[in-house]
Amino acid sequence: MNNLNQKMRIWHRYLGFYLVGIMAVYAVSGMTLIFRKTDTFKKEIQIQKILSSGLTETQLVKALSEDELNIISSQDDLILFETGTYNRISGEVLYKKMEYPWVLDKLIKLHKASTYSPVYWLNLFFGASLLFFVISSFWMFLPHTSAFRKGLYFSLAGMVMTLIILFL
């Protein structure tokens, strides 16, 4: 068991050092994502496009790839929506959009990567590494020490807190 303890401690230590950069990325992007329903950290971008003329409201939403395009009114040659206008005759669209700065946008896209992203394997590796950290932390101290017993109490308290948060 002593040999296993030693190996787990070494793997825990060097994997922790190896993942310092990606853990920082996930920490920053995760905290930023808490504010995703607000404009915190975002900057306003003015967009001007020429689309096909004569689009309907439904076609406009699809053409702009905007899920939440709140249309206010539709007149003969103009569609007004919350963030801009569309001229049905010329096809010109003028609107504003709130976007994250380039670097922060990259961090968030990495954090939210799915199987359609070329870096989804990184999320799988990172998740597996975090699970390894959870398990290997119990090999950091010998079972008969007070540090191990205190660690178990803190682990239990953390699990109880997690269950309370999950089910409230």
Domain boundaries, position 54: 43-99
Tokens linked to 4: 């296993």
The pLDDT of residue 101: 95
75/90 same-domain check: yes
pLDDT per residue, tens digit, the chain (168 aa), is: 588 888 998 999 999 999 999 999 999 999 999 999 999 999 999 999 999 998 888 888 888 887 667 888 888 889 998 889 999 999 999 999 999 999 999 999 999 999 999 989 999 999 999 999 999 988 888 888 999 999 999 999 999 999 999 999
14/94 same-domain check: no
Closest CA relative to residue 103, chosen from 37, 32, 152: 32
Residue 137 to residue 134: CA distance in whole angstroms: 6
The pLDDT of residue 105: 94
Residue pointed to by tokens 């997690």: 162
Contact 43, 96 (CB under 8 A): no
Closest CA relative to residue 126, chosen from 33, 32, 20: 20
Amino acid type, 20: V
The pLDDT of residue 59: 87
Amino acid type, 90: S
Number of compact structural domains in the chain: 2
88/48 same-domain check: yes
108/60 same-domain check: no
Q: Could you say which of 99, 117, 133 is where a domain stops?
A: 99
pTM of the model: 0.71
106/160 same-domain check: yes
Helix (H, G, I), strand (E, B) or coil at 64: helix
31/49 same-domain check: no
